[in-house]
Amino acid sequence: MQHFKTLSAYLSYLELPPPEHPMFSIYTAMGEGFLPCPKESSPPISNDCYSISLKKFIAGDLTYGRTKYDFSNGALFFVAPRQILQWDRSAVFEQKGFSINFHEDFLKGTELAHQIKKYGFFSYSINEALHLSPKEERQIELIIENIKLEYHNNQDPFSKDIIISQLGTLLTYAQRFYERQFINRMELSNDLLERFNQQLEEYFDSGQLQELGIPKLEQLADKLSVSQRYLSDTLKKETGKTTTEHLHMFLIDEAKNILLKPGKTISEVAYDLGFEYPPYFSRLFKKKEGMTPSEYREKYRMN
């Protein structure tokens, strides 16, 4: 797989115009004209750059994940360094919007270098893009206009700080708008929780829990066609609990059933639930239920 260490090499590969700054570039097409189109297809590649882009497709619907969206409004996409990218001709559309690409070293020595890693949407998959309302889109465009003005201005000691400040504002707005999207997509969130629990039940019923151990969260997210970070953020917004907490709830509920079976030791119950170390199971059970597995079993028998 080809990896690009510099912004210039990455943009050259995409067949896009060279950047005016060695570590930062911006292309816009908010009004007339279209964004410069990158090459039509590519095998898997990666690079050391962040990408933020607003895509406005001129006509038609596009299905992302299990949902069809009208792209007369914009969708924001976020890509972090070293994520694997791949596309083919079916993904190419005439488009308006903007595209920002900057090398991770562009942020070195700034507060944003630490903050940007906290924005979970850089770990979301393409089917989890941020879909903007016209009002939200206009707010983003105003920020982009400021960045573009500074980018094309004569460079001075303040230029980089101003651009980074505007980038921070853009990401803060994106975080706000994602919060709105989580709320507006409540029905999809409920469906995601149901399918997550169904995946756990199927995994348990198939005997894989005993054979392969507790499933990895990334494995469960892949089954649901979402990224691990998006799955956790969605469940957290909907239920107040993360993916890990939901997984633990499922395991504890199953533990309660198995603990009531005669002849099962606590260690056997732990192994049946995929725990490699029984003491960890006992600690988790007590943390969630306020009593040890043995105490739970004794309490049930007493009742």
Residue ranges and CATH numbers for the domains of the chain are: 2-184 (2.60.120), 187-302 (1.10.10.60)
- d(C-alpha 297, C-alpha 66), whole Å: 43
Q: What is the pLDDT of residue 301?
A: 67
- Tens of pLDDT along the chain (303 residues) come to 899 999 999 999 988 889 999 999 999 886 666 677 677 778 888 899 999 988 765 444 444 333 444 444 578 888 889 887 877 665 445 567 899 999 999 999 999 999 998 888 887 765 567 888 888 989 999 999 999 999 998 888 899 999 999 999 999 999 898 888 766 655 555 677 778 888 888 888 888 877 788 888 888 888 887 888 888 888 887 777 888 888 998 898 888 888 877 778 999 888 888 888 889 999 999 998 888 998 888 877 655
Residue type, 9: A
Distance between CA 147 and CA 36 in Å, rounded?
Answer: 18
Q: What is the pLDDT of residue 33?
A: 63
- Note whether 104 and 74 are within 8 A (CB): no
Residue pair 64/127 in contact (Cβ under 8 Å)? The answer is: yes
What single-letter DSSP state applies at residue 124?
-
Question: What's residue 190's pLDDT?
Answer: 61
pLDDT at residue 67, rounded to an integer: 42
> Is 264:256 a contact under the CB 8 Å cutoff?
no
**Pairing state of beta strands 42-47 and 2-4?**
parallel
Q: Are 189 and 238 in contact (CB under 8 A)?
A: yes
Distances (CA, A) of 142 to 132, 138, 185: 14, 6, 26
Query: ∠ at Cα 143 (237, 146), nearest 5°?
Result: 160
